[in-house]
Structure 1
Amino acid sequence: MVGVKSIIIDGETFYIFNSAIYIFESSTGSTLEVDMIVSEITLRKYKDRESLIAEIELEDGRVISSFMFLKSLPGRLPRLNLFCELDENENYEGVLRISENDLAFPDIEEGITLEDIRKVEMPNEKITLKLNLPIDQVEWLREQKNRDLNLLFKELLNKHFK
């Protein structure tokens, strides 16, 4: 079976930890689908999009370019699913075919952990803290720039967290 080498969405390349391309055959028709494990940052960027232009480079060198629809899939890892109707002019030789009666979809999460993903691309989160501090410390904190406070807290947490 042929695999995915890279995917470009709306002209942007991103890191794919694992993926599977297949044709899903149901009683209502067939669709080309790509499931992929991505970083949390990539998931946040694309999860609310409904459609996009995708260029899928296969391991055998073929490129499938298509207008595709997007959905995020549940799982323990950040996942996206792209799908579109089959193009009569496209060559799908070697692409896995899955029937709606099959219960065995490719397991693209196997062997990957969230920690592995975060080693490649660590997301940042905003947090608001409510602290009860002496007034002189509060005044000092208010005088600092956010960038400097972020660095200070990262260093402090890295020292005590790990």
Structure 2
Amino acid sequence: MAGIKSINLDGEEIYVFNSAIYIFESSSGSTLEVDMIVSEVTLRKYQERDSLITEIELEDGGQISSFMFLKAVPGKLPRLSLFCEIDPEESYEGLLRIQEDHPDFPDIEAGITLEDIRKVEMPNEKITLKLNLPINQVEWLKERKNKELTELFRGLLEEYLERIE
């Protein structure tokens, strides 16, 4: 079974933790499908897209370039799943074939945790806090720029979390 060596989405190479590429054969036809475990940052960047120009380099040296559509697939880990119709001019030699009546999809989540993914790329998230503080502290906070406060709170939280763990 051929594996993915690298993948580009709309011209940008993405980091993939694990992946599977296969032909899904059903009564309505066959599709080329690519399932990937990616970082939360990558998922957020692409999840709202309908389609992507996809360039795949296979481990056996093969290349697949296609306009692929995004589909939602539930899972515990951040995942992108792409599909496209089979190109009749391509041979797709070495790719796993999965029939509709025997859906033995590869388990690409095995052995990977969200903590492993976040060690590679940690997402940032905006948060709004409502605090009840003395007026002099509120005034001091209002005089600071957002970037300065972000760095301050990040440092304070890291110190605090190290102490309690």
Taking structure 1 as the reference length, the TM-score comes to 0.98
Matched position secondary structure for 2:103? coil
Q: List structure 1 runs of 4+ shifted beyond 6 angstroms.
A: none
Letter in 1 for 2:21: I
Shift of 1:107: 0.1
What does residue range 71-82 of structure 1 map to in structure 2 within 5 Å? 71-82=71-82
2:91 corresponding residue in structure 1: 91
Query: 2:76 & 2:125 partners in 1: Cα distance?
Result: 19
Matched position secondary structure for 1:7? strand
Letter in 2 for 1:54: T
What does residue range 36-47 of structure 1 map to in structure 2 within 5 Å? 36-47=36-47
2:101 corresponding residue in structure 1: 101
Letter in 1 for 2:148: D
1:52 corresponding residue in structure 2: 52
Query: 1:155 & 1:72 partners in 2: Cα distance?
Result: 36
1:25 corresponding residue in structure 2: 25
2:161 corresponding residue in structure 1: 161
**1:6-38, Cα deviation, whole Å (9 max, x unpaired):** 110110111000000000000100000000000
Matched position secondary structure for 1:141? helix
Shift of 1:73: 1.6
Query: 1:157 & 1:23 partners in 2: Cα distance?
Result: 47
Structure 1 residue 120 corresponds to structure 2 residue 120: yes
**1:49-101, Cα deviation, whole Å (9 max, x unpaired):** 11111001100111100111012321100001110000011121110000111
Shift of 1:103: 3.4
Q: % of aligned pairs identical? A: 73
Matched position secondary structure for 2:88? coil
Deviates more, 1:94-103 or 1:126-135: 94-103
Equivalences, count: 162
Shift of 1:132: 0.1
Letter in 2 for 1:139: E
